[in-house]
Amino acid sequence: MKALVVQTLSPDLSGVELADLPVPSRGPGEVLVRIRAASLNFPDLLMTRGEYQLKPDLPFTAGLEFAGEVVEADADSGFAPGDAVYGGNKTGAFAEYAVVPARAVTRMPHGVGFPAAAALGAAYGTAYTGLVEIGGLKAGQWVLIHGASGGVGLAAVELAKRLGAHVIATTGTPDKVDRLMAASQADAVILADGRFREQVAELTGGALCDLVYDPVGGDVFDESTRCVAFGGKLLVIGFAGGRIAEISTNIPLIKGFSVVGVRAGEYARRFPDRGRAIREAVATLAAEGRLNPHIDRILPLERWREAFDAMAGRGIVGKVVLEP
């Protein structure tokens, strides 16, 4: 099979190549899946550089998540050959076949195609875990979502709107403001550049935001501490901006807000029942047509470099999907 293999860690993808590998063999409790689509996530890029918290042993096949068809499964797994599923593991999705634990895949919602299903798991799972499971999102609340042109951010915008929140979406790129407004259903899109607290205050009538969803970090996090309402939560999703921010504890004390870390994958592993409930909730919303991942582009696996370069250059809105 063809697989995208990280042979060595490198800042410029020079250690990554499309290689021929044997189709993997599954063990008990695992399923073999023929991959029809796999979506690119920012951690995939970071792992090629050794900059992600997970550092797989080299060499490894890149890719966190996919959608495809079951080829082999245990009789008692709940899956049979031909079943359409989506999900993934920490690696292995950018290939023609993958082996993952049966618990790591979910039956595809009716009416959802392979590219959209491949974009559901990580982005919407993170959004649901952060906004609903940890953030306690309620209808009518104001939510500030940073990095909203990325897959994780745009999924959070859509989910929050579907659950009745008022959403302010941000981007760090001026030419993405109009594109993001067209791709999302946010109440407002602003540029997260410099001081944006005044814009947030004006949009919310001075109330500020009950939840701030931040996958960016750095200067965006610093300014976000001025945008959280008393009793609100600042959800730390990641550090796509590059700098890991620090905060003086007097700020959340005086302003009465919480800073909460969100690791959706680890949350699901530590609390498998809750993880299963989150996946089911996302699948139900997708089946009802209430979640529709925005796909920026679909590329064949052979054009993987174009996909990675687009993500590294911040040139996409939504998700990039690779098809083996």
Reduce the DSSP state of residue 304 to 3 states and report it: helix
Domain 2-120+293-323 has CATH 2.60.120.10: no
Q: How many CB atoms lie under 10 A from the CB of residue 56?
A: 15
List the domain boundaries for the chain. 2-120+293-323, 127-264
According to CATH, what is the number of the domain 127-264? Answer: 3.40.50.720
Chain Cα centroid distance, residue 105 = 16
Burial class (CB in 10 A: 0-12, 13-18, 19+), 90: middle
In this predicted structure, what is the pLDDT of residue 31? 98
pLDDT, residue 185, reads: 85
Number of C-alpha atoms within 13 angstroms, CB side, residue 31?
31
289: left (phi over 0), alpha (psi -120 to 50) or beta: left
Q: What is the pLDDT of residue 242?
A: 80
Two tokens, residue 115: 């590219």
pLDDT value for 135: 97
The predicted model scores a pTM of 0.91
Yes or no: say if 230 and 220 are a contact pair by the CB < 8 Å rule: no
HSE-up of residue 141 (Cα within 13 Å, Cβ side) = 24
Residues present in the chain in total: 324
pLDDT of residue 78: 93
Binned average pLDDT, 10 residues per bin, the chain of 324 residues: 97 96 96 98 94 92 97 96 94 97 92 95 94 97 94 94 97 88 90 93 97 96 97 94 91 96 92 92 94 94 96 87 97
